[in-house]
Structure 1
Amino acid sequence: MPLSPLEHDRRYGELDQVVRAYAGQQADDTPDRPSQALTAYLRQTWHDRPWALAVAERQLREYADHPPGRLRLRLGEFYPVPDVGLSDSEIQRWLYCLADHIRHSVEQGEVPPPSTPATHWEWHARFPELGQFLGGWFSQDMPDEFAGHDAAVDDYRATTDAQLVVRLVGELHELLALDLDEPDCALALAELGMEVDPPAPYAPSGWLELVAHRLAGPRAVYAPETTEGRE
């Protein structure tokens, strides 16, 4: 019987987060050194969900202790580990290695120092609303959907809950505080889903400042038209 969403999250939810952190990254962890992907997962999870690390360690170890057979995977009764470039015979050892690194990090209190996001997963985990904004309103279809960048920003604001707009403003300021040079800022925008260039004459950081200012300002309020006083 296929896993229900609740059962999936209870048994494999945080394991899935760990494995997703390896998208586009090498699973080259060794007993002496965690990979860049695992370091990024540790850094972000320590920051916003430290309690989840113990869950991840347990789920990784339990999955490695009882690897599913092909039949149960085909029936949807187990979480299928996505392809991370390792053979089936290497997966079990790799999962134990990840669990050991996470346990060591928790028990020793070894937290990766703050840093600019190093992986695609970390960019989106750290800036979730900015990823929604750029990927949803500034994809390659933006020129066909809106009259320009300002129109897209205004549409986001008009159709998005005010609390999420405030969250986006905070994430914009956090990204700007990384003080990236313009090429790295452009790469950050691409990682977060932007598929069009900022409008001329703005550099990426200058456009982000403009967007933050535009979204932080008061919403335009239009009074309804009235016929009072007309003949």
Structure 2
Amino acid sequence: MSMKPLEFDRRYGELDQVISAYVGQPADDTPERPGQALTAYLRHTWHTRPWALSLAEQQLRTYAQNPPGRLRLRLGEFYPVPDIGLPEAEIQDRLVLLADHIKQSVEEGQVPPPVAVPETHWEWHARFPELGQFLGGWFSQDMPDEFDDHDAAVRDYAGSVDPTLVARLVGELRELLALGLEEVDYAVGIAELGMEVDPPAPYAPSAWLAVVAGLLAGSRPEYG
């Protein structure tokens, strides 16, 4: 029988966050230093949920010490570690290495400094979760078939989600714009967050994000 959500979160929730940070990234950690994916996880978690680091360390070590058999994986009783480009025989040692790095980071207070531009796909979504929902859900490659134009998609979002989420998105947009990035970094960011169409002419990515923030800040959603 597959695990229920609460049981999964208790046993593997933070382990899943760590492993998800490696999707699309190399497992390039060494005993001397964490790689880019783990550094991104440590940086974001230290600055948003520092209490979760101890859970991650514990869950990684427990899983490495008690790996599931194939039958229990098929039955859904254990968390199946996604393919992160490592041979199966190396997974246990890799999980222990990650746990060791997290433990060292906590015990020695090694906090990765903040960065203006998220460095991995996972970090973009962890830092701007509602923006990822908005761009990935309303501005996929199907957007031109579903809406007359970009403004129509924005209005559909504003009228179909809870006002709290609209406010959260406005905050994330303003946070992103306040970073003052180069246009190429904004273009990379909105692509990482799921946008598969170009901003409408003549807007550059940052200018269009500013327009969206203004539209949503003045909207009166019809949710509910």
Same fold (TM over 0.5): yes
TM-aligned CA deviation for residue 94 of structure 1 = 0.5
Counterpart position of 1:107: 107
Counterpart position of 1:203: 204
Counterpart position of 2:195: 194
CA contact 2:12–2:59 (8 Å) conserved in 1:
yes
Counterpart position of 1:38: 38
Instruction: Quote the Cα distance in structure 1 between the aligned partners of 2:2 and 2:197.
Output: 40
Instruction: Quote the Cα distance in structure 2 between the aligned partners of 1:78 and 1:219.
Output: 44
Does the alignment pair 1:10 with 2:10?
A: yes
TM-aligned CA deviation for residue 154 of structure 1 = 1.0
TM-aligned CA deviation for residue 93 of structure 1 = 0.9
Letter in 1 for 2:104: H
Does the alignment pair 1:132 with 2:133?
A: yes
TM-aligned CA deviation for residue 218 of structure 1 = 4.9
Counterpart position of 2:65: 65
Instruction: Give a deviation string over 1:198-223, Cα, whole Å, max 9, x none.
Output: 011100000011111111125399xx
Counterpart position of 1:149: 150
Partner of 1:194: helix, strand, or coil? coil
Aligned ranges 1:157-172 → 2 under 5 Å: 157-172=158-173
Counterpart position of 1:48: 48
Partner of 2:84: helix, strand, or coil? coil
Instruction: Quote the Cα distance in structure 2 between the aligned partners of 1:160 and 1:8.
Output: 28
Higher mean alpha-carbon deviation, 210-219 vs 104-113, is at 210-219
Instruction: Give a deviation string over 1:132-165, Cα, whole Å, max 9, x none.
Output: 1101111111111111111111111111111111
Letter in 1 for 2:129: P
CA contact 2:158–2:219 (8 Å) conserved in 1:
no
Q: Which runs of 4+ in 1 moved over 6 A?
A: none
Instruction: Quote the Cα distance in structure 2 between the aligned partners of 1:38 and 1:109.
Output: 16
Equivalent pairs, count: 221
Partner of 2:25: helix, strand, or coil? coil
TM-aligned CA deviation for residue 111 of structure 1 = 0.9
Aligned ranges 1:24-35 → 2 under 5 Å: 24-35=24-35
Structure 1: state its 5+ residue gaps. 222-231
Bigger Cα Rg: 1
Instruction: Quote the Cα distance in structure 1 between the aligned partners of 2:201 and 2:57.
Output: 48
Higher mean alpha-carbon deviation, 83-92 vs 66-75, is at 66-75
Instruction: Quote the Cα distance in structure 2 between the aligned partners of 1:102 and 1:31.
Output: 12
Does the alignment pair 1:217 with 2:215?
A: no
Letter in 2 for 1:199: P
Does the alignment pair 1:83 with 2:91?
A: no
Instruction: Give a deviation string over 1:55-91, Cα, whole Å, max 9, x none.
Output: 0000000011111222222222211111111112211
Instruction: Quote the Cα distance in structure 1 between the aligned partners of 2:94 and 2:221.
Output: 54
Instruction: Give a deviation string over 1:100-156, Cα, whole Å, max 9, x none.
Output: 111111111111111121111110010000001101111111111111111111111
Going from structure 1 to structure 2, the CA distance change for 1:155 and 1:90 (only over 3 Å counts) comes to: same
TM-aligned CA deviation for residue 5 of structure 1 = 2.0
Structure 2: state its 5+ residue gaps. none
Partner of 2:38: helix, strand, or coil? helix
Going from structure 1 to structure 2, the CA distance change for 1:20 and 1:217 (only over 3 Å counts) comes to: same
Name the % identity: 73
Normalization by structure 1: what TM-score?
A: 0.92
